[in-house]
Structure 1
Amino acid sequence: MAAGGPPVLVVTRLDDVTADEVITELNRRRVPVVRLDPGDFPREITLSCTFGGTGPGGTLVTASRTLDVGNVRSVYWRRPTPYTADLALEAQAARWAVEEARYGLGGILAALPDTHYVNHPWRNRDAEYKPAQLATAARCGFTVPPTLITNDSIQARDFITNHGPVIYKPLRETECTDDTGRSLTVWIEDVTPDQIDSRIRHTAHLFQQRVSKTADIRLTAVGDHLTAVRIDGSPGVDWRRHYDALTYSPVPVPPEIANGVRAYLDAFGLVFGAFDFGLAPDGGWHWYECNPNGQWAWFPDHITTPITHAIADQLQHREGSA
Structure 2
Amino acid sequence: MDGRPVLVCTESEDATADLVITELNRRRVPVIRFDPGRDFPTPVVLAARIGAGGAARAESGGGWAGRLTFGQRTADLSAVRALYHRRPTPCPTGSGERTARFAAQENRRGLGGVLGALPGCLYLSHPQAIARAEYKPAQLDAATRVGLTVPATLITNEPEEAERFCAERPTIYKPLHAGTYEVDGEPAGIWAAPVEADEIDGAVGHSAHLFQARVPKVADVRAVVVGEQVFSARITAPPGVVDWKAEYRNLTYEPVACPEDMCGALVRFLADFGLNFGAFDFAVTADGAWWFLECNPNGQWAWLEDVAGLPITHAIADLLENGMSPA
TM-score, with structure 1 as normaliser:
0.91
Amino acid at match of 1:121: P
Q: Name whichever of 97-106 and 225-234 sits farther off.
A: 97-106
What is the alpha-carbon distance in structure 2 between the residues aligned to residue 295 and residue 15 of structure 1? Answer: 14
- Deviation readout 1:150-196 (Å, 9 max, x if unpaired): 111111111111122x111111223443563x333121111122332
Change (3 A) 1:147 1:64: farther
- Deviation readout 1:191-242 (Å, 9 max, x if unpaired): 1223322222222111111110110000011122111100012441111111
Q: Which runs of 5+ in 2 are unaligned?
A: 53-61
Amino acid at match of 2:67: T
Contact 1:223 1:320 in 2 (8 A): no
What's the CA shift for 1:63? 3.7
What is the alpha-carbon distance in structure 2 between the residues aligned to residue 201 and residue 96 of structure 1? Answer: 36
What is the alpha-carbon distance in structure 2 between the residues aligned to residue 189 and residue 321 of structure 1? Answer: 48
Name the residue aligned to 1:223. 227
- Deviation readout 1:223-280 (Å, 9 max, x if unpaired): 2211110001244111111111111111111122112112211211111111110110
Contact 2:79 2:326 in 1 (8 A): no
Name the residue aligned to 1:194. 198
Map 1:138-287 → 2, pairs under 5 A:
138-164=144-170, 166-178=171-183, 180=185, 182-235=186-239, 236-287=241-292
Change (3 A) 1:319 1:56: closer
Percent of aligned pairs sharing the same letter: 49
Amino acid at match of 2:114: I
What is the alpha-carbon distance in structure 2 between the residues aligned to residue 259 and residue 318 of structure 1? Answer: 22
Name the residue aligned to 2:27. 29
Name the residue aligned to 2:88. 80
Contact 2:119 2:326 in 1 (8 A): no
Change (3 A) 1:179 1:254: same
Name the residue aligned to 1:51. 50
Change (3 A) 1:319 1:251: farther
How many residues are paired up? Answer: 316
Q: What secondary structure is seen at the aligned counterpart in 2 of 1:298?
A: helix
Change (3 A) 1:96 1:178: farther
Change (3 A) 1:98 1:198: farther
Q: What secondary structure is seen at the aligned counterpart in 1 of 2:102?
A: helix
What's the CA shift for 1:290? 1.0
Contact 1:213 1:279 in 2 (8 A): yes
What is the alpha-carbon distance in structure 2 between the residues aligned to residue 284 and residue 321 of structure 1? Answer: 43
Contact 1:313 1:319 in 2 (8 A): no
Q: What secondary structure is seen at the aligned counterpart in 2 of 1:70?
A: helix
What is the alpha-carbon distance in structure 1 between the residues aligned to residue 325 and residue 274 of structure 2? Answer: 11
What is the alpha-carbon distance in structure 2 between the residues aligned to residue 312 and residue 300 of structure 1? Answer: 14
Instruction: Pick the aligned partner of 2:16 from 8, 14, 18.
Output: 18
Contact 2:143 2:292 in 1 (8 A): yes
Name the residue aligned to 1:308. 313
Amino acid at match of 1:278: A
Change (3 A) 1:263 1:135: same
Contact 2:94 2:105 in 1 (8 A): no
Contact 1:211 1:280 in 2 (8 A): yes
- Deviation readout 1:98-143 (Å, 9 max, x if unpaired): 3222211111110111101111111111111111100110011111
What's the CA shift for 1:300? 4.8
Q: Name whichever of 232-241 and 248-257 sits farther off.
A: 232-241
Contact 1:297 1:304 in 2 (8 A): no
What's the CA shift for 1:30? 0.8
Name the residue aligned to 1:7. 5
Q: Which runs of 5+ in 1 are unaligned?
A: none
Q: What secondary structure is seen at the aligned counterpart in 2 of 1:5?
A: coil
Contact 2:94 2:101 in 1 (8 A): no
What's the CA shift for 1:314? 0.5
Name the residue aligned to 2:132. 126
RMSD after superposition: 2.1
Change (3 A) 1:67 1:177: farther
Amino acid at match of 2:124: V
What's the CA shift for 1:95? 3.6
